Structure 1
Amino acid sequence: MAGGQLQVLSALDSAKTQLYHFTAIIIAGMGFFTDAYDLFSISLVTKLLGRIYYYEPGSSTPGSLPPNVSAAVNGVAFCGALSGQLFFGWLGDKMGRKKVYGMTLMLMVICCIASGLSLGSSAKGVMATLCFFRFWLGFGIGGDYPLSATIMSEYANKKTRGAFIAAVFAMQGFGNLTGGVVALIVSAAFRAKYKAPAYDVDPLASTPPESDYVWRIILMFGAVPALITYYWRMKMPETARYTALVAKNAKKAAADMTTVLQTDLEEDANKAEKLFNSRDQFGLFSKEFLRRHGLHLMGTTVCWFVLDIAFYSQNLFQKDIFSAVGWLPKAKTMSALEELFKIARAQSLVALCGTIPGYWFTVAFIDIIGRFFIQLMGFFMMTAFMLGLAIPYHHWTTKGNHIGFVVMYAFTFFFANFGPNTTTFIVPAEIFPARLRSTCHGISSAAGKAGSIVGSFGFLYAAQSTDPAQTDPGYPTGIGVRNTLFVLAGCNLIGLIFTFFVPEAKGKSLEEASGENEEEVIEAESSYNHAEPV
């Protein structure tokens, strides 16, 4: 490197894969495991909440959440996450990654438990309390995004950095699957103890009072993995790149990493000072940042925004889509706990067959074929599969073709995760300077959460354009789902176009990828050009 590189950063870039890498993946990854569990477990229990709190005695149909209540319950955590990403992203660059990391986790633990304990004297009271705590749960989850990505990128070596960050993000798939499995276990346990008839057999007995425990247990379980991880997060040292490049204490960075890397590291204070002085310390709102990284930030934010419109719409409302195409029976033919069991089973199958494999394909190939190609391919394939679902939609809803629909639907998840859902998380942690890395990742991920809010609220109203002949209010009609699939395909096409604004970081050190050494290169070239001939 032209101006010379700090020894500790060079050591991190060239370090062989060892135990501390896997430890960091597990510690950061368990946060994402919890994030996914908490965000998506709510979609499993919304129909149960409708049956418990909004059933009207004498009605010919099971209770369901009103559209505005359903939108609030599903979407409020995303509003909190957006705020948390911006706030904790900024705080991570001001206070350090480690100090802020513990705050987000404890907030998640407290709000998970509080969500399950939501009480009230009326249905509106319970829903209002639930939404309040899920907002602050989302706030903690939001902080986990920029901090986990930044910490993992700053710990990793440049050869396998993409795979390490992707492995952290891939824990989302296991969190999603675990949400389904926990719902299966809890609903099966209560079904075995309290045999409830289908709604059309006995409406009053189809939702036993014990159902109120089920959704609370499912939501509160999310605190368990977060609580287990807290101790290990607090034992992690601050990242060397933050300590050296932001706090400008290269000696402490070397001392911290001596233990982690199990090798002797010592920095020359004079060399470090010259290196810091040679770098342009421009701020986020400066013309220099706009010149160097303006298009990059636009690329990461737009791609994440449109991706999350599609991805979270699919995740939160896949139960409605399965109902619309007839893969799930009508609510009237099931008891409340049986309906929960079948929704959880369907969601678990999609996670197992489509979501998780996609994540791990990215882990395997991202440092071989690069971030750019995977993101471009993912957006293209998601567009193709969604059009393949939408154009012949009435064919898929015909009896006997449901399995084909579910297979193609699972492929959209596969290519979301072996594609932009993972790369949009990785790239912002690599292409921005250390002093702005967490902030820029927070801005990018907040754009994604804005997309998830659009997806969760927009899809709900589009898909619940009910047909007067529909016997199950709350189940979307074919018209609403089909049009929504066309819109989501368009979002993916926009993401494909804006991928061209995002640079490739494969095989580069963070300083090379972010351009932090640009001033050093210019200075070195200037010195060379003005040197006297030998």
Structure 2
Amino acid sequence: MGSTASRPQIPDNLTTRDQKRVFIRRYIDAHGFRWLVYLVAASGFLTDSYNLFATNAILPSLAFVYWPDEMDGWRESLINCMTLGGSLIGQLLFGFLADKYGRTRLYGIELVIVGFTTIALAASSTGFGNSIAVLPWIVSMRFLMGVGIGAEASYPLSASICTEWASTKARARMMVAVFLMQPVGQLISQLVAYGVLLGYNNSYDLRSCKSPSEGECGRVVDIIWRWVAAVGAIPALVAIIFRFQIQDPGLYDLDVKDDGTRAVQNTMMLYRYRRVSTVVSNSADEPQMEELGRDASVNPPQPNGAAIQHRHEQESELPEQFSWDDISDYFLKQGNWRSLAGTSMCWFLLDIAFYGLGMGNPSTLAKLWTYYQAGEPLGDVPSWNPNAARPHASIFDALRDNAVQNLITVCIGSVSGCVLLLMIIDYVPRKQFLMYSCLWLAALFFITGGSFFAVFHNDLHAVSIVLVALCHFSFNLGPNTLTFLIPAEIFPTRYRATCHGIAAAAGKLGSVIVQASLPTWRVDGVSVSNPNSSGLGWVFILYGFVMGIAAVFAWAWIPSLQHPRGADGSGTRGSLKLPSKTLETLGEGLIKSREEGEILGMRARLRIRFARRSGEIREVHG
């Protein structure tokens, strides 16, 4: 980011860590939405989203080329589970490393992993005379890719960098805008798959391809999935280029590495010495700071020597990161394990429903979109053809239907939900919105499951398509986005990436469990995977209970992240916006929340509720 000689001089009166922290916070908060930070985080997030969700676009092609006669889909489930399992490991590993060694020191390593494994996957081969077992190679590359995806889209690195470099007012919007890249990446993967399919169909007639041994069918389809997979390396390259544009956030250098000089310099350099009017009270802890800029000298009134000595004597040592004493004090004695458990359980339960819905799984979508007559005999179909009602479909039909159904049912709703949340995020209480959106999804799943039994065997099956699309819209309007956002805000800087990684890994654990079990899940002998049964309706109902439980954890164990309206000192009491608390305030944990009158914990919340109903108390905060 520049040589040492080009680094700015920090104000002379910044002598203590607290003064530097105030300077950094007010310097950052003097700006709004920082596009450079956003592009750094969003480009990496887009890379991983594309590569994660491209799986469903290429699975039918892989099955058609390499195991065309297999009737079950265990290979596809194995590929998905290994990708998600690798992501889980990446979240835990890189979350810890990002806190221990720095945000940007690791940012780029995971992108290299994703880029390398993307190219290696696209270059998969059976060798000469089938000398290479292609499935283990594909599974291995998807697992390693998952590790890279877990480090980036999982969020410890993108989330921490974006959160710590964002101004308090713009933080929530920047985080939602970064998460928007998940449904956008999913959308792009399906558009690329559809475009490549149509392009090759113009040169080769794929409509008659029902076996890879027919003419050039196998060769052409093999090219199609490689193109779709290889495109994922392009955003990875762009993200790596962006990565070199920033340094570790000032809060990290200050509160973890205890390098206040570098922390202030990195902050000033990120904003390119822009002219900032920052007013701080002239007290012993917060020296007067005037205009800061490339051409403006920073010459606030200097405190006397006695005051400087007093500040050095009063400055406390930083907690020893990852020491048992600090971990036991912050998480156990202060009770902040509840915040970690709350975010982890919400993410775990969410991903059971989100990934259980299939991430746009071809067989699930085919079941929703196809009209089955009750008792209609269905033919045995290979795993590359997800629609048992069309046993004579070609690979073109399978790939086209998969892309179109995914775009309509999943992608449009997911992008729309995230865009709407981006517009309203500053006007809703995030904790309560997470809780109520989980309850809304629970009710929506009950309705979807109940209606599925009624419309599955008649021409009203479009009702289920609309309801599932609404589920995807609601996921990204609420819990899918908020479970990414909240863990990046409520933990102290020294544990932010680790805790975010743990919460995200809990989500991936839920996704692995449901992906591994869903193909064989049964209720009273009714198979979910049987296309002629209504077992999917029971799955929706189950997810309704799951989301209801998630709402309970959000209610009990997640603290509030915002002040009341008009409480940000701006004087705009008529504003509908709910001002966010600073990261420094949220990092103080439950002690600070309790000081502000918030009640947290299952038993405490229930006890207060009962007391309130009995009339013993009248007001409850939080």
In structure 2, distance between residues paired with 1:303 and 1:495 = 5
- Aligned AA for 2:98? G
Deviation at 1:6, TM superposition (A): 2.0
Equivalent position of 1:7 in the other structure? 22
* 1:296 paired to 2:309: no
Selected match of 2:500 from 441, 444, 454 = 441
Q: Contact 1:245 / 1:276 at 8 angstroms: preserved in 2?
A: no
In structure 1, distance between residues paired with 2:454 and 2:312 = 68
In structure 1, distance between residues paired with 2:131 and 2:446 = 39
How does 1:482-497 map onto structure 2 within 5 Å?
482-497=537-552
* 1:310 paired to 2:353: yes
Q: Contact 2:177 / 2:422 at 8 angstroms: preserved in 1?
A: yes
- Aligned AA for 2:142? R
Deviation at 1:374, TM superposition (A): 2.1
Q: Contact 2:124 / 2:137 at 8 angstroms: preserved in 1?
A: yes
Q: Contact 2:351 / 2:510 at 8 angstroms: preserved in 1?
A: yes
Deviation at 1:303, TM superposition (A): 0.4
Q: State the secondary structure of the residue aligned to 2:536.
A: helix
Deviation at 1:14, TM superposition (A): 2.2
Equivalent position of 1:28 in the other structure? 41
CA-atom RMSD in angstroms: 3.1
How does 1:292-441 map onto structure 2 within 5 Å?
292-327=335-370, 330-441=389-500
- Aligned AA for 1:286? S
Equivalent position of 2:560 in the other structure? 504
- Aligned AA for 1:375? L
Selected match of 1:129 from 118, 130, 137 = 137
Q: Which has the higher helix share?
A: 1
Q: Contact 2:176 / 2:421 at 8 angstroms: preserved in 1?
A: yes
Selected match of 1:286 from 315, 318, 328 = 328
Selected match of 1:259 from 246, 269, 274 = 269
Equivalent position of 2:220 in the other structure? 210
Count of residues paired in the alignment: 507
* Compared CA separation, residues 517 and 201, structure 1 to 2 (3 A): closer
In structure 2, distance between residues paired with 1:214 and 1:248 = 51
Deviation at 1:190, TM superposition (A): 1.7
Equivalent position of 2:285 in the other structure? none
Equivalent position of 1:85 in the other structure? 91
In structure 1, distance between residues paired with 2:590 and 2:261 = 20
- TM-score under structure 2 length normalisation: 0.75
Deviation at 1:78, TM superposition (A): 0.7
Q: State the secondary structure of the residue aligned to 2:359.
A: helix
Q: State the secondary structure of the residue aligned to 1:478.
A: coil
How does 1:445-524 map onto structure 2 within 5 Å?
445-462=504-521, 476-500=531-555, 501-506=557-562, 507-515=580-588
Deviations 1:105-133 (A, max 9, x none): 11111011111112225598111100100
Q: Contact 1:241 / 1:434 at 8 angstroms: preserved in 2?
A: yes
Q: State the secondary structure of the residue aligned to 2:335.
A: helix
- Aligned AA for 2:473? F
Q: Contact 1:389 / 1:396 at 8 angstroms: preserved in 2?
A: no
Deviation at 1:337, TM superposition (A): 2.3
Deviations 1:165-222 (A, max 9, x none): 1111111111000011000011111222221345789994695431111111111111
In structure 2, distance between residues paired with 1:97 and 1:109 = 19
* Compared CA separation, residues 78 and 189, structure 1 to 2 (3 A): same
Q: Contact 2:210 / 2:395 at 8 angstroms: preserved in 1?
A: no
Q: Contact 2:414 / 2:473 at 8 angstroms: preserved in 1?
A: yes
- Aligned AA for 2:430? R
Equivalent position of 2:287 in the other structure? none
Deviation at 1:405, TM superposition (A): 1.3
Q: Contact 2:28 / 2:267 at 8 angstroms: preserved in 1?
A: no
In structure 2, distance between residues paired with 1:387 and 1:206 = 47
Unmatched segments (≥5 aa) in structure 1: 57-62, 523-534
The structure whose RCO (Cα within 8 Å, separation 6+) is larger is: 1
* Compared CA separation, residues 357 and 511, structure 1 to 2 (3 A): same
- Aligned AA for 1:407? V
Q: Contact 2:365 / 2:406 at 8 angstroms: preserved in 1?
A: no
Selected match of 1:106 from 90, 112, 118 = 112
- Aligned AA for 2:328? S
Deviation at 1:17, TM superposition (A): 1.2
- Aligned AA for 2:265? A
Equivalent position of 1:39 in the other structure? 52
Q: State the secondary structure of the residue aligned to 1:11.
A: helix
In structure 1, distance between residues paired with 2:464 and 2:35 = 38
- Aligned AA for 2:538? N
In structure 1, distance between residues paired with 2:246 and 2:314 = 27
Equivalent position of 2:74 in the other structure? 68
In structure 2, distance between residues paired with 1:181 and 1:133 = 23
In structure 1, distance between residues paired with 2:500 and 2:475 = 19
Equivalent position of 2:249 in the other structure? 239
Q: Contact 1:86 / 1:446 at 8 angstroms: preserved in 2?
A: yes
Deviation at 1:228, TM superposition (A): 1.4
Q: Contact 1:282 / 1:289 at 8 angstroms: preserved in 2?
A: no
Selected match of 1:138 from 131, 146, 168 = 146
Q: State the secondary structure of the residue aligned to 1:392.
A: helix
- Aligned AA for 2:40? I
Q: Contact 1:51 / 1:207 at 8 angstroms: preserved in 2?
A: no
In structure 2, distance between residues paired with 1:271 and 1:161 = 35
- TM-score under structure 1 length normalisation: 0.87
Q: Contact 2:336 / 2:590 at 8 angstroms: preserved in 1?
A: no
Deviation at 1:52, TM superposition (A): 2.0
